[in-house]
Amino acid sequence: MSKAVFIENVAKKGKVSKAEAKRMVDLVFGEIEAGLKRSKKEGRYQIGTFGTFTISKRAARKGRNPQTGEEIKIKASKVLRFKPSAQLKKSAGC
């Protein structure tokens, strides 16, 4: 779903204008982003009955270039993961 469709759905369900729905959606997304920035050291950001974002570290490793078969080095990196809450899983039928 695109952000525009998401905003449209929020506007319809909330019975507000699209402009107001866009402001609300931007506020929510902005707060999630700010919360992730604040919790960098901690490595996790939990949102009540929605779920938990965690930052995982991936070690450096070796890989292969699929075109040439040549071995390459892949740098260590950080990955953002999301684990949905039990309530969210239940809503999705999982």
Report the pLDDT value the prediction gives residue 7, as an integer from 0 to 100.
Answer: 95
Instruction: State pLDDT tens for residues 27-46.
Output: 999 999 999 999 888 889 99
Nearest to 45 by CA among 15, 91, 85: 85
Tell me the mean pLDDT in the region 12-38.
94
H helices present in 1-94, as ranges: 3-14, 18-38, 86-92
Question: What fold does the segment set 41-94 form as a domain?
Answer: HU Protein; Chain A (4.10.520)
User: What's the Cα-to-Cα distance from 90 to each of 32, 49, 53, 84, 87, rounded to whole Å?
Assistant: 22, 11, 18, 10, 5
Instruction: State pLDDT tens for residues 39-80.
Output: 888 889 999 889 999 999 999 999 999 999 999 999 999 999
Q: What pTM value is reported for the model?
A: 0.72
Which residue in the block uniquely carries the two structure tokens 């450096």? 60
